[in-house]
Structure 1
Amino acid sequence: MKKSVIVLLGISVVCIAFAAIFVKLSGAPASIISMYRMFFASLLLLPVVYKYRQEFLKLTVREWGALIFAGLFLAMHFGFWFESLHLTSVASSTVILALQPIIAMVGAYLVYKEKVSLRAAVSVFISFLGVVLISWGDFSFTDLSAITGNFLSFLGAVAVVCYFMIGQNAVRNLKHWVYSFIVFAIAGVFLLIYNIITGTALTAYPPVEWLLFILLAIFPTIAHVIFNYLLYDVSPTTVSMAMLLEPVGASILAFFILSETLGPLQLTGGMIVLIGVYIFLWSERREEYAKT
């Protein structure tokens, strides 16, 4: 692998690892953080999207329907995940979120009846065991907030898998920039409607909160731009494996910035989850090579 690719992967992992830290530092409601993350990210993409504005005219009614549902699931993803970060540790939340590829495999099996290899089945079992250990380490008879946070992180992972599945199967001819802009904006609108219905304050936040909203849009967006650029040089599986470093990076940042520590069960469970997901991605990569 080229040295420049390794450097870019490292930068992207650090950028995306900061997302959980910014959410944790914010005192705003999760739905507000999610809403402004979507709207500000849309604004960042606007100059690029303007270049491809003709793409909007190609969309059919069916594709717009798919985009609306994709935006809804993306809104749910950020709402669930950001709320989980207010309830549980950065390590637990980000590790459980890393189950996305395995959840996607289960979804493909249930919806499209895709075959599951023995290695994939083993990876599911290993990852499930890791999640059980994390939850057991977070369990308390007097405070169930951490367990609730872990469950919300899992729901966030399920929601983002639904978002990806809709995007991959319903809108194939749309450029990535335009697709991202549309679903970000739609997700922001759904979150805005939710905040209005629940009576959540939209603007009464101090300057530091607005700075966190903007940083939360900038850093992950930079990471995703780098990931998309790297797909010209490396396989999607390689990028997915690099993203497994996000929980590690986020946990290290949380230790130094938020003084979060991990108990032995959370630490062991987190390592087991990442091993399980790595086995799954490794087996997927072997199957890709076998087909070529």
Structure 2
Amino acid sequence: MNTTMNKPKVPVSVFLFIGIIAISFSSIFIKWSTAPAAVIAMYRLLMTNVLMLPFLWRYMPEIARIGIKDWLRTAVSGIALGLHFLFWMDSLRYTTVASSTAILTLEPILVLVGGFIMFGQRTTRTALFAMIIAIVGAVCIGWGDFRFSGDALKGDVLSLVGTIAVAVHMLLGQSIRKHMSAFVYSFFVFLFAAAVLFVYNLFAQAAFSGYPLREWGIFFLLAIVPTVFGHYVFNWLLKYMKATSISMTVLGEPLGATLLAYVLLGETVTLLQLWAGCLLLVGVGLFLRSNEKETGVQHEVP
């Protein structure tokens, strides 16, 4: 079955836009928090699981049919997502929002290469050219904030490792979502990711309690906005789009996060960043138009 069939009544682009805006808030909330990055990530995911738990019973027949192979792949996907949160969120302690999110632009390249190796997926020359345009735009957004020494370099390296981890997560998700619903996949991926972060926090001897009410509010906002309306939406979209295309739309995060950081954190926005943002959007639009014309990923489960 081609993914152009069974498209939702609401255009996919609407859900993509919602997801991009939602994940753009992630770095803002993290910057507002003073809790350790691993603690923020752990509670963000656990709160998401709690919100999803009342609906889990509807999916018990599907859960009972999951085989060991899919459980293992889901676990690895969850571990990769947990590592992404751990490294990327920690990077924001050392570098700017623009710099950290700009490094995330490497994600679609990694997913494109991984998709070719794992699934034999190919793309057009137009799509590759569009990807280059978008990545140049995203890198230009954070270029003035890149540093090659000190804490800023440490933050950039952490963001890079987190980007590799989320690429692994996206590729595994594309494979698993062929026969697993978005709800079940997301619930257990979030749970495995939270478990990884819980173990890390135990070894790091991080405090699990004693945080002021403001911090718990930030944890909850992270669960609702970038996790449910961001990561869950992207997991659901894997039924209708290739992982490469979804990763390309995530390139909108540097632009969204930079603009939000300007409004909410007082970080500067230059004319170069605004022009780079326009270049990024043009590149993403061209890529999606070209890449999604080809035969889509075969998915059967909503």
The answer to whether TM tops 0.5 is yes
1:132-147 matched pairs, under 5 angstroms:
133=140, 136-140=143-147, 143-147=149-153
Q: Which residue of 2 aligns with 1:255?
A: 262
Name the stretch that deviates more: 82-91 or 177-186. 82-91
Q: Which residue of 1 aligns with 2:71?
A: 64
* 1:24 and 2:49 correspond: no
Which of the numbers 158, 183, 194 marks the counterpart of 2:200? 194
Which of the numbers 206, 209, 216 marks the counterpart of 1:210? 216
Tell me by how many angstroms 1:122 deviates.
2.5
Change in 2 beyond 3 A, CA 1:170/1:213: same
User: Equivalents in 2 of 1:13, 1:114: separation in Å?
Assistant: 24
Q: Deviations over 1:71-108 (max 9, x none)?
A: 11010111122112222222333343254333311222
SS at the partner of 1:88?
A: coil
Tell me by how many angstroms 1:62 deviates.
1.3
Tell me by how many angstroms 1:18 deviates.
1.9
Change in 2 beyond 3 A, CA 1:119/1:147: farther
Tell me by how many angstroms 1:127 deviates.
4.8
SS at the partner of 2:25?
A: helix
Which of the numbers 88, 94, 99 marks the counterpart of 1:87? 94
User: Equivalents in 2 of 1:114, 1:28: separation in Å?
Assistant: 41
User: Equivalents in 2 of 1:72, 1:7: separation in Å?
Assistant: 29
User: Equivalents in 2 of 1:131, 1:154: separation in Å?
Assistant: 14
Residues 174 and 238, structure 2, Cα contact 8 Å, conserved in 1: no
Change in 2 beyond 3 A, CA 1:56/1:288: closer
Name the stretch that deviates more: 15-24 or 209-218. 15-24
User: Equivalents in 2 of 1:185, 1:197: separation in Å?
Assistant: 19
Q: Which residue of 1 aligns with 2:112?
A: 105
Change in 2 beyond 3 A, CA 1:44/1:155: same
What are the ranges of 5 or more consecutive residues in structure 1 without an aligned counterpart? none
Counterpart of 2:159, as a letter, is S
Q: Deviations over 1:126-158 (max 9, x none)?
A: 4554566456522446x5333433333333232
User: Equivalents in 1 of 2:90, 2:133: separation in Å?
Assistant: 26
Residues 77 and 189, structure 2, Cα contact 8 Å, conserved in 1: yes
User: Equivalents in 2 of 1:10, 1:136: separation in Å?
Assistant: 24
SS at the partner of 1:74?
A: helix
Counterpart of 1:74, as a letter, is L
1:1-292 matched pairs, under 5 angstroms:
12-127=19-134, 129-130=136-137, 133=140, 136-140=143-147, 143-170=149-176, 172-224=178-230, 236=241, 244-263=251-270, 272-287=279-294
SS at the partner of 1:286?
A: coil
Change in 2 beyond 3 A, CA 1:165/1:253: same
Q: TM-score by structure 2 length? A: 0.78
User: Equivalents in 2 of 1:134, 1:213: separation in Å?
Assistant: 27
User: Equivalents in 2 of 1:193, 1:207: separation in Å?
Assistant: 24
Change in 2 beyond 3 A, CA 1:201/1:38: same
Aligned-pair identity in percent equals 39
Residues 99 and 277, structure 1, Cα contact 8 Å, conserved in 2: no
Greater share of residues in helix: 1
What are the ranges of 5 or more consecutive residues in structure 2 without an aligned counterpart? 1-9, 297-302
User: Equivalents in 1 of 2:119, 2:17: separation in Å?
Assistant: 35
Tell me by how many angstroms 1:183 deviates.
1.0
Counterpart of 2:151, as a letter, is S
Residues 115 and 121, structure 2, Cα contact 8 Å, conserved in 1: yes
User: Equivalents in 2 of 1:173, 1:127: separation in Å?
Assistant: 32
Tell me by how many angstroms 1:68 deviates.
1.2
User: Equivalents in 1 of 2:20, 2:268: separation in Å?
Assistant: 21
Q: Deviations over 1:195-237 (max 9, x none)?
A: 11122222232221111111110112442466678899xx648
